[in-house]
A and B are shown apart, each in its own frame.
Chain A
Amino acid sequence: GAGVSQSPSNKVTEKGKDVELRCDPISGHTALYWYRQRLGQGLEFLIYFQGNSAPDKSGLPSDRFSAERTGESVSTLTIQRTQQEDSAVYLCASSLGQGVTYEQYFGPGTRLTVT
């Protein structure tokens, strides 16, 4: 079946502009995660959604970052007033449930470059 998809695959934007990244999880997966991967660094957790529960936003680095999810489907990550340090690959993952025993399936990521 279809895996996790993300769009766009690449995004180049000017400093100060807003960007919106999209994630389509695997159908039926109730949990969805966003991560940031800077060059040469490990993945950093940003936010996760589980069903209709309030999202865990503890990883968002600043109030310029926000994310929404419609039910158990598409999610969008929005970065306002982008800065050069926001340049990174943004990965989305989904899983059947939220919990440490569930496998996370990752999308291919969106490479964001802020000039």
Chain B
Amino acid sequence: KNQVEQSPQSLIILEGKNCTLQCNYTVSPFSNLRWYKQDTGRGPVSLTIMTFSENTKSNGRYTATLDADTKQSSLHITASQLSDSASYICVVANYGGSQGNLIFGKGTKLSVKP
């Protein structure tokens, strides 16, 4: 069964600190992996998209990694800011599937405190 699991479920950190969010998946055949940021009451916004051959991709203070062998990804946030408080969703796209081809994780809810 195609699944995407994220950990931790929630996380509280102090402003200025770094953090890493995890994503494990069992999706086949794999096409790409995406990280989205979803602010409360808003739709998800894409942070990064990585294909099978990409190991790392950065977007400002956000750096995503992908290990296609172990089917794991992480999102590292550097020097966190209050505006980073949001849910971070890992999404894996697969070829040939229905469901619009995207499998969504439940997200990690990050709270950045001053």
Contacts between the two chains (Cβ within 8 Å), count: 54
Contact B31 A103 (CB under 8 A): no
Interface centre among A35, A48, A100 (most CB of B within 10 A): A100
Contact A100 B31 (CB under 8 A): yes
Question: Which residues in chain A, 25-58, are within 8 Å of chain B measured between CB atoms?
Answer: 33, 35, 40-45, 48, 56, 58
CB distance from A30 to the nearest CB of B (A): 14
Complex-state Cα separation, A4 to B42, whole angstroms: 11
Contact B46 A108 (CB under 8 A): no
Cβ contacts under 8 Å, A100 to chain B: 31-32, 93-95, 101-102
Contact B43 A42 (CB under 8 A): no
**For chain A, what secondary structure do more than half of its interface residues adopt (helix, strand, loop), or is it mixed?**
loop
Interface flags for B76-104 (1: CB within 8 Å of A; 0: not) read 00000000000001000111001111101
Q: Please, could you name 18 A-B residue pairs with CB atoms under 8 Å apart, sorted by A?
A: A4-B43, A35-B104, A42-B104, A42-B106, A42-B107, A44-B104, A56-B100, A58-B99, A99-B101, A100-B31, A100-B93, A101-B31, A101-B32, A106-B44, A108-B41, A108-B42, A108-B43, A109-B42
Q: Using CB atoms and an 8 Å cutoff, list the residues of chain A in contact with chain B.
A: 4, 33, 35, 40-45, 48, 56, 58-59, 91, 93, 99-101, 103-104, 106-109
